[in-house]
Structure 1
């Protein structure tokens, strides 16, 4: 089996996995239908882009459809970016203004109308024979490179903002999901950076390097799609989102003016802090795994804005870490209780408000410098 046939076989696997996962996302029962539809669209576009060797294997000669298929790559990252928005923010909706993301795709096709789409087969062949020197192709490559950089940066900015909003307002397990989406975006960024390098080498004196990178990209794409498929099948409701209308504390501080916060409202914050401490001790609301800052603010009769400033600004601690501190201290009390020595670590983490072992271990190590299991062993050894 020659190299081309091997690549076609790998492409077929990637296309199958992409389409299989897209069907799964479109049919699985979930509250996050928009997110699933957007990612399914991204996977279909990925399958179309990956099928280059398959398309060339089945067709002879250039065609308008073949060029149009190639240029659909301009829709991939905009679709992924919209997917990231839908995952991060619960109130995200597709709006007419989002059609602006198709502008690069339309431009890339428009510049090819005079000398490719609108000419006969012989003219198409002549155009492709000197494709690397054609200004239309050079324009499209520059446009694609700029698009990739802009959307990758924008995706990371959205993830960073949503993570900070989550830490300041929520105390559930979604942070692990946001971290995983960040990892997937990193993997996707690496893929596109290698793809850009491939395109650059394509127009140099070393086109063979471009071909090797192309082969490596197909294999890398198979690994990434398989990774996502594994995650999706095991966690069909992977993400919980945050409210995009929530403001970061640093923005609230800037709005109100830093000089006004400390001296003017110090007494009020002291009163609110005492109320908060008594509330946490009496109500033990931190045992609620899906607790939000709004839940506590409603119970205390304090505006969410003021409570957020108290915890995230005055106390210098994210709400997420603030709540986890109470959870870890409660877990430590259980671990110290000799009558509960038979209670497993898994049972303890659920009892104190966590709903994943990884987030519990991370928070416990951050608070104590050790894992729950090591902490319990240390207590036993000290009693001997």
Structure 2
């Protein structure tokens, strides 16, 4: 056995073993998002199974022998599992509905068709006449064309697109608030799987149309990538297995919502007209007195109407003021810190923290961008 084959076997086995281990851990844990964890666990099991099958083929098992009839393809289930993993992760109290089972129809069809095609070996005697019309052409389409792989890749592209729509859905479920920072890793996973599938379909089509579907030069890179994705996905899921993408929020009555909306209008007016944010000593208590409202109502208004904390809300105004001051030619001789003080920040540290948190960039980038 060549060194490259040994390395390939090691890589595939590492991916498969890690996938199984992480899958078992994720399946057993009873945590707030345990249903999502179980979908992720199932994805890891199927990925690991596919890596094990490919490893056996390297040893010569599964190619028209007894194993050939046992090791069936389940390529059409990945997309569905990815979609339900995402949907269950971002949906509080998620439950599978009866209509959801229709999404598993492709893998059922693949299972039935794959069994049918493989049973043709029992009738094949070397002549076309030994098979039925459906058996012969089914075998040709299934085994001589990249049908199953193209459909598998397109299903993943389709379902990752559906998953991205779910992740981008801005509607909120009453009593819960989605935490965007908790789903960034899922967005990365979905994008990687989508791009991987696009590339896979493209390479398979190139092989089919230009090389007669005989080279299979992409086989090993595909399964190495699959092993890496399995390992990465397992690590991501394991490290976040106890996290929840939601936090509970108080349910506000229509009467209270109207009251909070009125406070929000007063608050916005005070900020824009009187520029209260320029006061470096501004606190929730001071702001509440300016609005003639109780502090707890102002806090509730910020959390419910603006979905922000007090400091973040005020600092957003201050950062916008910094940008406006930078644009003014009169301030060309002022340092960035002097401008920050003018906008209401009381220290360099608070300015740096606020800019990094709200914009995601360094404070120096404010000047560069303008």
* TM-score band w.r.t. shorter chain: 0.5 to 0.7
Query: Is the alpha carbon distance of 1:115 and 1:26 closer, same or farther for their aligned partners in structure 2, counting shifts above 3 Å?
Result: closer
Partner of residue 98, structure 2: 96
Partner of 2:141: 135
> 1:62 is matched with which residue: 50, 61, 64?
64
Residue from 145, 150, 158 that aligns with 2:158: 150
Shift of residue 220, structure 1, vs aligned partner:
2.4
Q: Is the 8 A contact 1:71 1:108 kept in 2?
A: yes
After TM superposition, give the deviation of residue 110 of structure 1 in Å: 3.1
Deviation at 1:92, TM superposition (A): 1.8
Report what 1:33 is aligned to.
34
Matched, 1:191 2:199: no
- The alpha-carbon distance between structure 1 residues 2 and 211, as it changes in their structure 2 partners (threshold 3 A), is farther
Unaligned segments of structure 1, at least 5 residues: 247-266, 297-310, 312-317, 350-356, 376-384
Judged with a 3 Å threshold, the aligned counterparts in structure 2 of structure 1 residues 125 and 74 are, in CA distance, closer, same or farther, namely farther
Tell me if 1:240 matches 2:242: no
Distance 2:138 2:210 in 1: 12
CA distance in 2, matches of 1:168, 1:209: 55
Count of matched residue positions in the alignment of Structure 1 and Structure 2: 305
CA distance in 1 between partners of 2:72 and 2:51 (Å): 9
Return the offset for 1:210.
Answer: 5.8
- Bigger Rg, structure 1 or 2: 2
Contact 2:12 2:52 in 1 (8 A): yes
- SS of the residue corresponding to residue 90 of structure 1 reads coil
Q: TM-score, normalised by structure 2?
A: 0.64
Other structure's SS at 1:21 match: helix
Alpha-carbon distance in structure 1 between the residues aligned to 2:9 and 2:234? 21
**Cα distance change, pair 330–205 in 1 and its aligned pair in 2 (3 A):** closer
Contact 2:35–2:88 under 8 Å retained in 1? yes
Distance, in Å, in 2 between the alignment partners of 1:125 and 1:9 is 40
Cα RMSD for the two superposed structures = 4.7
Instruction: Give the corresponding residue for 1:225.
Output: 230
Provide the rounded CA distance (Å) in 2 between the counterparts of 1:99 and 1:165. 24
Q: State the Cα distance separating 1:11 from its structure 2 match.
A: 0.9
- SS in structure 1 opposite 2:48? helix
Q: Secondary structure at the match of 1:51?
A: helix
Corresponding residue number in structure 1 for 2:264: 273
- Call closer, same or farther: CA 1:13–1:271 in 2, change over 3 Å: closer
User: TM-score, with normalisation over the residues of structure 1?
Assistant: 0.62
Which is richer in helix? 1
Residue 325 of structure 2 is aligned to residue 324 of structure 1: no
